[in-house]
Amino acid sequence: MRIHSKGYPVLLVILSVLLVILLAVNLVFPEQSYIHYFLYTLAFIFYFMVVRFFRRPKRKIEINENNILSAADGKIVAIEQLNDDEYFHEKMLFISVFMSTLNVHVNRSPIGGTVKYQKYHPGKFFVAYNPKSSKFNERNTIVFEDKKGQEVQIRQIAGAIARRIISEKVVGDKIKQGDELGIIKFGSRVDHLVPLSAKINVELNQEVRGGVTVLASFR
């Protein structure tokens, strides 16, 4: 299992804390019992889940200039038309993907081209499933422009648990479709804003995979 580089410091801290706790338990209660074995098992399962969260699977990206890929793994929780008041300042198609703690949290570029706009917004930490999170939560906005001048925006949104957005791209960066953009630590949400003319290829509650699932197509 490949691990994202940003996960190693977290994994080291958590491993140290777990070892200290287990060592303290053994010092106070040196005689081994079923309770000890239960705690060992619980610590192993917890640590395995944290390691699994930072996994960075290889993905086979099928490059297609007409397609808009999902930037995240998760479930489609919204498909609607909304006015964007940050960059486009017009009505756009809005497709939102909710990422649970069980999903891969590496985000990917929905199209190839150039990073046209990027801005971090501090904010609140509503549960990511809540529609309010798109507007009020801590978030990072990125706009991509392809060689045809077509633009797509994504918002990486922190949730009640996910309080750290790590974005690895800045304005001017050249990117390929499906390139890794960064990671959101623990449960979160990624919104996609695409042109009204785009053809939607997904439906509500559908499970999607970042860099693989085609959310929409340019027309």
- Catalytic residue, candidates 70, 96, 134, 188: 188
Residue 89 and residue 46 in one domain: no
Query: For residue 99, what is the domain's CATH number?
Result: 2.70.70
Residue 106: exposure state from Cβ atoms within 10 A (0-12, 13-18, ≥19): buried
Residue 49 and residue 71 in one domain: no
**Count of the separate structural domains present in the chain:** 2
The residue with greater pLDDT, 145 or 126, is 145
How far apart, in Å, are the Cα atoms of 190 and each of 29, 43, 63, 149, 210? 46, 30, 21, 23, 10
Residue 81 and residue 188 in one domain: yes
Mean pLDDT in residue range 49-71: 91
Q: For this structure, is 96 an active site residue?
A: no
Residue 71 has pLDDT above 60, yes or no: yes
Residue 92 and residue 190 in one domain: yes
pLDDT mean across residues, the chain? 89
Mean pLDDT in residue range 97-107: 89
Position 143 scores a pLDDT of 97
Residue 39 and residue 89 in one domain: no
Tokens 């209660």 belong to 29
Residue 169 has pLDDT above 90, yes or no: no
Query: Do the domain assignments include residue 59?
Result: no
Residue 37 has pLDDT above 60, yes or no: yes
Distance in angstroms (rounded) separating the CA atoms of residues 133 and 188? 9
Residue 127 has pLDDT above 80, yes or no: no
Q: What's the domain range around 155?
A: 67-217
Residue 132 and residue 46 in one domain: no
Residue 147 and residue 187 in one domain: yes
Residues 153, 138 contacting (CB under 8 angstroms): no
Q: What is the pLDDT of residues 13-36, one digit of tens each?
A: 999 999 999 999 999 999 999 999
Residue 122 and residue 45 in one domain: no
Would you place residue 166 in the very low, low, confident or very high pLDDT band (cuts 50, 70, 90)?
A: confident
Q: Which residues 6+ apart lie within 8 Å of 59 measured at CB?
A: 108, 178, 209, 210, 211, 212
Tokens 């929905």 belong to 110
